[in-house]
Amino acid sequence: MKVRLICVGKIKEPYLRKLIERCETTLNSRCRLEIIELKDEKTPDGASQKEEERIRQIEGERILSRIPEGSFVVPLCIDGKQMGTEELRRRWENWNREKDAEVVFIIGGSLGLSRAVQKRGNMKLSFSRMTFPHQLMRLILLEQLVTVSGTKEK
């Protein structure tokens, strides 16, 4: 199985980079992992809703251009489906059984994801109704993928 993680923005904090690299190493032994970091647009202080929407659209176009045809797309959204680790593990196992499966997880920038990206998703996923920094969300997602990829069906 191939897993692609498309993220808006770079990880600047060295401690987060180190933890993310540890997860990458583990996941690469279990699947083909590719992490794509896309440029984030700067949001001016006091930006209007219209300006924020324009920024989401620009970032969204970058994201959509990196999604391979035929992949299963999972945007991380606050209004997405919440599931426990066991349910995510079952989904992982199902994806892993499919020949040439490619799953694309998407983490937006500080303003979230454009409507077009959310619409492209096959399943919107939420880790919480709370908002987390997108840099930290990358670590949380990768840690969950390490967990579910290393467990066997009971």
Q: Do residues 112 and 77 touch, judged by C-beta distance below 8 A?
A: yes
Determine contact, residues 138/20, Cβ cutoff 8 Å: yes
Helix/strand/coil for 4:
strand
CB 152 within 8 A of CB 30: no
Annotated binding site: 76, 108, 127-132
Annotation: binding site for S-adenosyl-L-methionine: 76, 108, 127-132
Q: What is the rounded distance in angstroms from the CA atom of residue 77 to the CA atom of residue 124?
A: 6
